[in-house]
Amino acid sequence: MKLVIAATGASGAIYTQRLLDNLRGHEVHFIASRHAREVAALELTGGWRVPPDVIQYEETGSMMVPFVSGSAQFEAMAVIPASMGTMGRVASGVSDTTIARAADVFLKERRKLIFVPREAPYNLIHLRNMAALVEAGAVILPASPSFYSRPTTIEQLVDTIIARVLDHLGVAHSLSKRWPNAE
C-alpha cells in the first residue's frame, strides 16, 4: 500500500513509532510537525527510530510533496498522534500546512483518513471539530487503549490501538488476537 503517516504535536510519540514499526513492506511517506518532533524528543530517547525504507519529510508548509495533490494515488493517511490544533485546521478547511492540506486532499478524494487524537478533557470546540471530520468522511480512532488482553508493557498497551489503526488502514497484522480469543 501507499500510505501517508503524519505525526502532530500531541502526546503519544510511541504510537507513531509502533505504527511505523508495523508497516514494513509498504510505501510509507512520514511527515512530522515541528511540535511533533519536540514532543517525540521529550517522550522517546533519541526521538523516533524511523525504518530505513520510510520516506521522510519535515512539516515546512511545502506543497512540493506528492501527497498534497489528489492526482497522487495514495490509499490511506493516518494522523497519529493527532493534535487538537491540526484537527481544528482540517475541520475548518484551513490547508496552510502540508499535513492539513494532505488531510484535506484525502477527504476530498474520499480516501481513508484516520485521526488518532490525544487530549483530555475535550472542550466543545474539539468535539465539534471531530463531528465535522466524521461528517466529512474521516475516522476518529482515539488513543484510548484497551485492557482486556491484559497488556503488561507499554508497547502491548499501545499496540491495542495500533492493531485498530492497521485494521482501518487495511494492513494485515498479527498484533493482537481477535475477540473472543483476546488473551
Ligand X SMILES: Cc1cc2nc3c(=O)[nH]c(=O)nc-3n(C[C@H](O)[C@H](O)[C@H](O)COP(=O)(O)O)c2cc1C
Q: Is the peptide bond before 180 cis (omega within 30 degrees of 0)?
A: yes
Q: Which is closer to ligand X, CB of 98 or CB of 176?
A: 98
**Is residue 66 packed enough to be buried (19+ CB in 10 Å), middle (13-18) or exposed (0-12)?**
middle
Query: Are 80 and 116 in contact, with CB atoms under 8 Å apart?
Result: yes
How many CB atoms lie under 10 A from the CB of residue 174?
9
Q: Binding residues for ligand X, how many (CB under 6 A)?
A: 16
Q: Which stretch binds ligand X (CB under 6 A): 29-37, 45-53, 66-74, 172-180?
A: 29-37
Decide if residue 142 touches ligand X (CB under 6 A): no
Q: Return the number of the residue (21 or 43) whose C-beta is nearest ligand X.
A: 43
Does 17 help bind ligand X (rule: CB under 6 A)? no
Phi, psi of 31 (to 5 degrees): -125, 135
Least distance from ligand X to the Cβ atom of residue 137, Å: 20
Residues that bind ligand X (CB under 6 A): 8-11, 33, 35-36, 38-39, 42, 83-86, 118-119
